[in-house]
Amino acid sequence: MIAESESTYLTNENFDTAIFAGGCFWCTESDFDKMPGVVSTISGYIGGTVVDPTYEQVVSGKTGHVEAVMVYFDKTKTNYSKLLNAYWFTIDPLTPNRQFCDSGAQYRSVIFYRNSEQKEQAEISRNMLDLSGRFTKPIVTEILPAVEFYRAEDYHQDYYQKNPLRYKYYRNNCGRDTRLKELWGTQH
């Protein structure tokens, strides 16, 4: 009983969550899972009007939800600011209502903040990128308050691990890594 209480205390004290939308949640999940300090990720839907939406409903573009990933991280190994900095290199922040081959508002890039500290850090991060002079177009990535996050169906969780060949085929054919290299000059 004591060990369980201590474990809960450590979990509450040292762990936090962040929510990012960057197009296809399979790819966003894969990118964040590679980061030091990330404990786990969950693919899901956020920001819409339908309670407990299905994948088919969300991809129709009629629910208002965005494909997103909830990122659980160990604050002793990383922090929200580092996650934000990494996030930019995984998305196209210049194209509204689209990420790579996925088109529609359900695939737009959004940082969902959970509290005022995350909101402030997200705004600072976006403003720094905007002022950096890296891009001539404006940054269109939204910063919105987190609302109810709905876990996606089980077959979407860890898709890149469960279906590595299909995932690689999709990611390559979607042009994600090619566009990221154009934008950021780095290989993913």
The residue from 24, 27, 101, 174 that is catalytic is: 24
Residues 6 or more apart whose CB falls under 8 angstroms from that of 181 comprise 187, 188
Distance CA 99, CA 90 (A): 10
The candidate with the shortest Cα–Cα distance to 141, out of 96, 84, 85, is 96
- b vs e for 110-139, b when ≥16 Cβ sit within 10 Å of the residue's Cβ? bbbbbeeebbebbeebbeebeeeeeeeeeb
- Catalytic residue flag (residue 174): no
* The two structure tokens encoding residue 120: 């402030």
Instruction: Please give the single-letter amino acid code of residue 97.
Output: N
Which two three-digit tokens encode residue 46? 């956020």
Residue ranges of the alpha helices (H) in the chain? Answer: 2-14, 25-33, 55-59, 80-88, 116-131, 159-162, 164-174, 176-184
> Hey, which residues are catalytic here?
24
